Homo-oligomer: A and B are copies of this chain.
Amino acid sequence: MTFDLDLSSLVVQETIKFKGINALPSRNPTPKGRVALRQERNREALVQAGYRVMSEKGIDAATMQEIAQKADVGAGTVYSYFKSKEDLAVAVLERVMHNLAIRIEEVTNQFSDPAQVYAFGVRTVIEAATGDLRWKQLLNRPEVVADAMFRCMGPFAIRDLQNAARANRFKVDDAELLWKMATFAIVGVSRAVIQEQLSHRLIDEAVVRLLCMTGIGEAEAIEVANRPRPALGPESPVF
């Protein structure tokens, strides 16, 4: 598997089948086509409505009716954009992860130590998941969250793991495997904290454990995890 770090490529799946509309842009007053514009709006409205309903009621309890209504489209229309409810949930979570990934990247691209970049990333995700009530319902479908996290943040995380390995800070054989394990561990811990099975205070320790997985050694893991951390930038209006 290879990853492309171009940010614009992070929207992983385009479900819809774009036919050859606007073959001739010419001097038409609709250079992009009204259909294409409406489709963009519809898709966006559906993802946002999906996010609102699913994060309020949970992915399973969310109904396609309510989502379609909030997005102001007919119930059947959803299925020209997403092939199933599951597929919509995936799109929603990829959006959430994508936005968070970008906000993290904005901070960490000023770090010099790649180990610190990875540490900041995993901690920020756990804090977002446990600190924002909107994640609570989503975490009831851990595999959807973890898979979206894997795909959307993987390009960054795997790059950081490899950078840190090259700098001899981490000892990582297979960064993809490690990231797969980390995503599930992150989701598991976040769920447990939100369900109050684990104390909120254990987040520090969880970050240390995720760092230990990289082979950095416990002492250094603790040091890296405890470095002061800059604040994250503001989140985008909806997500």
Which residues does A use to contact B, with CB under 8 Å? 1, 140-143, 146, 171, 173-174, 176-178, 180-185, 187-189, 191-192, 197-198, 202, 205-206, 208-210, 212-215, 217-218, 221
Given contacts A140-B143, A146-B188, A209-B213, 20 further A-B contacts (CB under 8 A): A141-B143, A142-B143, A142-B146, A143-B143, A174-B205, A177-B189, A177-B202, A177-B206, A178-B209, A181-B188, A181-B206, A182-B185, A183-B188, A184-B184, A184-B187, A184-B189, A185-B188, A215-B218, A217-B217, A217-B218
Main secondary structure of the interface of A (DSSP, over half): helix
| Number of copies of chain A assembled together | 2
Separation of A176 and B188 alpha carbons in the complex (Å): 12
Can you sample 12 A-B contacts with CB below 8 Å?
Answer: A140-B143, A141-B143, A142-B146, A171-B218, A177-B205, A180-B192, A181-B189, A181-B209, A184-B188, A212-B212, A215-B217, A217-B217
Separation of A221 and B215 alpha carbons in the complex (Å): 9
Q: How far is the CB of A86 from chain B (nearest CB, A)?
A: 10
A209 close to B142 (CB less than 8 A): no
Inside 8 A of A188's CB, which chain B residues have their CB? 146, 180-181, 183-185
Separation of A214 and B209 alpha carbons in the complex (Å): 7
Our pick among B173, B197, B212 for the contact of A180 (Cβ within 8 Å) is: B197
Q: How far is the CB of A125 from chain B (nearest CB, A)?
A: 14
Indicate whether A180 sits within 8 Å of B184 (C-beta atoms), given known contacts A215-B218, A218-B215.
Answer: no
Separation of A221 and B218 alpha carbons in the complex (Å): 13
Our pick among B1, B174, B183, B209 for the contact of A177 (Cβ within 8 Å) is: B209
Separation of A211 and B65 alpha carbons in the complex (Å): 47
Our pick among B171, B191, B212 for the contact of A213 (Cβ within 8 Å) is: B212
Q: How far is the CB of A123 from chain B (nearest CB, A)?
A: 14
A185 close to B189 (CB less than 8 A): no
Inside 8 A of A209's CB, which chain B residues have their CB? 177-178, 181, 213
